[in-house]
Each structure stands twice: as C-alpha cells, then as structure tokens.
Amino acid sequence: MTKEDSIMTNKEKVQHEYDIYKDSPVRLLGYANEVGEAFRNQFGSGLWIKATYGIAVAYVIADALDKTVKTYRRKHDIGQTALVGTDTLIWQLLASVAIPGYTINRLCAVTNKLIKKRTKLPSKTRSAIVSFVGLAAIPIILKPIDHLSDKILDITLRKITDSKE
C-alpha cells in the first residue's frame, strides 16, 4: 500500500467520525413525527402532532448546523461549508421528516380504511391497531428511506457538489 492509499480523504474521515446525530439515540428525535403520524388517528392533527414535527425539524436543523460548523472549522471554505450544510439539511428533511412522515401517514390511513371497511371493530380498537401498524412500520422503512434520500441527492445536489470539489 502506498502512502497515498493510506491517507483518507476529508469526506472519508467525516464518514468514519462518530456522529451524535447519526450514531446515537439522538437520531430517534428525527423520527418523532413518524410516531406522531402513527398516533394521528387517535389524537387528530392538533398540537401534539405538530409538536412531533417540531421535534423532528429541530433535530434536522441541529444536525445541519453541526455539519456546517464542523466543515467550516476543518476547511475554512465558505463554499464547501455551504454545500455540506445544504446537503445535510436537505438529506435530513427528506430522510427524517418528509418521506417517512408521508409514508407512515398513508400507511395508517390505508390501514384504518381497510379495517373500517372489513370489520366492525370499535373505533378505539381500530385506532389502537392503526397506531400499532404505524409504529411497527417505522424500523422497517428507515433504511430504505435513507438509501432513497441518498439516491435523490446523488442524482441532484451531489452532482453539483462533486463537480465543485
């Protein structure tokens, strides 16, 4: 192995660093809105559901700010810093809020409709089942949505950022 082979690029170093926003239970805050969506059938679309979106968006902003500050401290390059911050913000909005929130919302709506149409269960029982289905789906959808978000950025924003490196 040559000396050049043993030196990691900055991008690789960032990927191997411990990241509290991706490698710890703090990551779960990004999925607060999915929990809210799972319980929407029971609580409606009131303040509680909005609060779960607030938690998830706060997590997204905190992660984007963290990556922005770390990049600036490491590179002192405003352009690169802006690209990393933008990439993180958009990725997190897609992977933690928009796509999974929509997915759980639709899954719960379809589940509710099917149960209502095919059974005579009381509404509280139906709502509990719908919430259970929504909660059970969260760990199943996370990795595919993360990969989808990567693909979306790979064919859009990252094409721009890669050409600027």
Give the model's pLDDT for residue 130. Answer: 97
For residue 68, the one-letter residue type is: T
Any alpha helices (H) in 24-94, and if so which ranges?
Answer: 32-43, 47-75, 78-92
Give the model's pLDDT for residue 65. Answer: 97
Predicted model pTM = 0.82
Backbone angle region of 74, left / alpha / beta, with phi > 0 → left and psi within -120 to 50 → alpha: alpha
Give the model's pLDDT for residue 12. Answer: 52
Which H or E element spans position 135?
helix 123-154
94 with 149: CB under 8 angstroms? yes
Give the model's pLDDT for residue 164. Answer: 58
131 with 105: CB under 8 angstroms? no
Going from the first residue of the chain to its last (165 residues), give the mean pLDDT of each consecutive group of 10, the final group possibly shorter: 41 68 90 96 89 97 97 92 94 96 97 94 94 97 96 91 63
